[in-house]
Amino acid sequence: MIRKLYSVYAAIVGKAYLEFRGFRTFFSTWMDVNFTGLIVARGSYDAAAGRYTFVGETPDFDHPGKSIPLREVLTRQDDDHFTYAYYETRDGREAEAVRLDYTRVR
């Protein structure tokens, strides 16, 4: 029998912009307690839509040595709300795996 001792979830997330010698791109990083890796994705920002879109890949722990394409979308609705959506592509089909809706508490 496996007994769950803790129900704590923790993640370290970062967003960055790099501009160096004509190279301009946004980066997203993600680490959490569910796996031992670091996800790094590259992307862009659409100012008109208030949306960052990142693409990258994550290790496929069910198939060592392989990876899963991913897409992250961070959308700002207003000063108090934004949405994070994470998609994975498996067997050629993209599906939303995580959706987080944030609201600032004042």
CA distances (Å), origin 70, targets 7, 23, 39, 78, 93: 26, 22, 10, 26, 11
Please indicate, yes or no, if residue 47 is contained in any of the structural domains: yes
Q: Identify whether 22 is part of a domain.
A: yes
- The predicted pLDDT at position 9 comes to 65
Name residue 79's beta-bridge partners. Answer: none
66 lies in a domain?
Answer: yes
Is 0.75 topped by the overall pTM? yes
Q: How far apart are CA 54 and CA 44, in angstroms?
A: 7
In a domain, 83, yes or no: yes
User: In angstroms, rounded to a whole number, what is the distance separating the alpha carbons of residues 106 and 95?
Assistant: 33
- Comparing CA positions, the residue from 10, 90, 74, 78 lying closest to residue 41 is 74
Residue 5 within a domain: no
Residues in the chain, overall count: 106
Per-residue pLDDT of the chain (106 residues; tens, 9 = 90+): 444 455 566 777 788 888 888 888 999 988 877 777 788 899 999 999 999 999 999 988 888 899 999 999 999 999 999 999 999 999 999 999 989 999 999 8
Overall number of domains in the chain? 1
Is 4 a member of any domain?
no
Residue 60 covered by a domain = yes
What is the span of the domain harbouring residue 23? 11-103
For residues 86 and 54, what is the distance between their CA atoms, to the nearest angstrom? 9
